[in-house]
């Protein structure tokens, strides 16, 4: 196959989703160019992921950095248009639902370059979430839509997308997880916090709806403070969240252990041996389902319903009482074990590249 594939990453969640595709294309010696928009640029949120996931260095680094949604999206579009004009790719592959995903899909579509969307069809049905807008736009601009669960196909068909464009391939994030989790656990990342396996919880918190309003953020941290008295909780703090906590004067209990964002292997090692996870992330809902770790999602909706029906995830929103009751249930062992969803088997990238090759034949 001589067609040129352009793979684009931009933010931390993209790396785990796109790494298996990049590596499978490389294994089959299919020409590709890897573009990093630079939406996430901090070492622990960007460069170290390339190193630990075994990804090649980006061929093109756009360096857009942080900004408002509009300015960041505009800068990505302007810079990526030049890449397309210079490299002339035959297919642009994007993943997930960050601003880079939408911006790149828009540019490619207007240049009449086919777009493939990895992790297509997920819907929270909450348009207040910028990610929802990004994923909807990317899906409707794509020629190849790679879904992770059955709900993805159902959502896309309801929105009028042609059936032949939709391919149920499984979950690339799970490909990365299954490939690296054993090595991650052997690193014993809990030792850095003087903890032992299953003796701690793990918290992530970054969504604007949770961290931007002190009236929501403060009660959330207060309930986690209370929970941590019975179960120490490690909290890798997103830069945005740390800034909001400092601005609001929010205090944390000594048993709520704050640290900087963790490298991929350290994080999944900690997650694999956690007693429970509290999060407002989408991908972590999937990873905990595979790892069979109880997950409390600090949101009122999820775009990943399979983690509720088959997995270990439950929605608790921002209700302190519901959070505390759920933690008590977990500590008593009263929590569903869940099962791994179909095609979450470490072979999603193989199926994706099979489809890409078939398209160009």
Q: Could you give the residue numbers annotated as active site?
A: 206
How far lies 330's CA from each of 76, 165, 313, 323, 337, in Å?
43, 41, 12, 11, 11
Identify which of 190, 233, 192, 230 has the alpha carbon closest to the alpha carbon of residue 221: 233
Question: Are residues 32 and 2 in contact, defined by beta-carbon separation less than 8 angstroms?
Answer: no
Phi, psi of 277 (to 5 degrees): -130, 135
| Residue 46: burial class (beta carbons within 10 Å; 0-12, 13-18, 19+) | buried
Closest by CA position to 32, among listed 76, 78, 90: 90
Alpha helices (runs of H) in 229-282, residue ranges in sequence order: 239-248, 264-272
Q: Which residue has the tokens 């099962």?
A: 339
The CA dihedral of 303, 306, 312, 315, to the nearest 10 degrees, is 30
Contacts of 32 (CB under 8 A, 6+ apart): 4, 5, 6, 7, 22, 25, 26
- 200: Cα within 13 Å, side-chain hemisphere: 23
Contact present, 138 and 101 (Cβ < 8 Å)? yes
87: left (phi over 0), alpha (psi -120 to 50) or beta: alpha
272, 291 contact by CB (below 8 A): yes
Phi, psi of 327 (to 5 degrees): -60, -40
What is d(CA 236, CA 81) in angstroms, rounded to the nearest whole number? 35
Closest of 10, 361, 350 to residue 167, by C-alpha: 350
Which residues neighbour 34 within 8 Å (Cβ) at sequence distance 6 or greater?
A: 7, 8, 9, 22, 55, 56, 57, 58, 59, 60
């Amino acid at each position: 196959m001589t067609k040129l594939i352009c793979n684009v990453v931009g933010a931390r969640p993209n790396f785990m989703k796109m790494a298996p595709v990049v590596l499978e294309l490389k294994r089959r010696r299919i020409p590709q160019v890897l573009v990093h928009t630079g939406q996430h640029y901090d070492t622990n949120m960007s460069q170290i992921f390339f190193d630990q996931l075994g990804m090649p260095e980006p061929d093109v680094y756009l360096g857009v950095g942080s900004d408002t949604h509009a300015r960041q999206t505009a800068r990505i579009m302007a810079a990526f248009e030049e890449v397309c004009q210079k490299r002339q790719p035959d297919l642009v592959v994007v993943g997930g639902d960050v601003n880079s995903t939408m911006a790149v899909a828009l540019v490619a579509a207007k240049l009449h370059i086919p777009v493939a969307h990895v992790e297509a069809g997920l819907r929270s049905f909450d348009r207040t979430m910028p990610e929802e807008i990004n994923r909807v736009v990317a899906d409707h601009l794509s020629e190849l839509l790679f879904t992770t669960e059955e709900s993805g196909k159902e959502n896309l068909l309801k929105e009028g997308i042609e059936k032949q464009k939709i391919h149920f391939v499984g979950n690339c994030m799970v490909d990365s997880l299954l490939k690296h989790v054993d090595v991650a656990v052997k690193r014993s990342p809990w030792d850095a916090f003087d903890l032992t396996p299953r003796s701690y919880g793990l918290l992530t918190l970054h969504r604007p709806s949770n961290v931007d309003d002190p009236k929501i953020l403060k009660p959330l941290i207060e309930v986690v403070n209370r929970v941590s008295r019975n179960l120490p909780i490690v909290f890798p703090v997103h830069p945005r969240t740390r800034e909001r906590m400092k601005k609001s004067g929010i205090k944390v209990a000594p048993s709520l252990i704050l640290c900087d964002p963790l490298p991929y292997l350290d994080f999944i090692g900690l997650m694999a041996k956690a007693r429970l996870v509290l999060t407002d992330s989408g991908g972590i809902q999937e990873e905990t389902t595979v790892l069979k770790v109880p997950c409390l999602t600090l949101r009122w909706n999820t775009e990943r319903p399979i983690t509720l029906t088959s997995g270990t995830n439950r929605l608790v929103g921002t209700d302190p009482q519901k959070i505390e009751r759920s933690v008590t249930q977990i500590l008593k062992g009263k929590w569903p074990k869940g099962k791994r969803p179909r095609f979450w088997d470490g072979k999603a990238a193989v199926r994706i590249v099979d489809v890409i090759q078939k398209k160009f034949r």
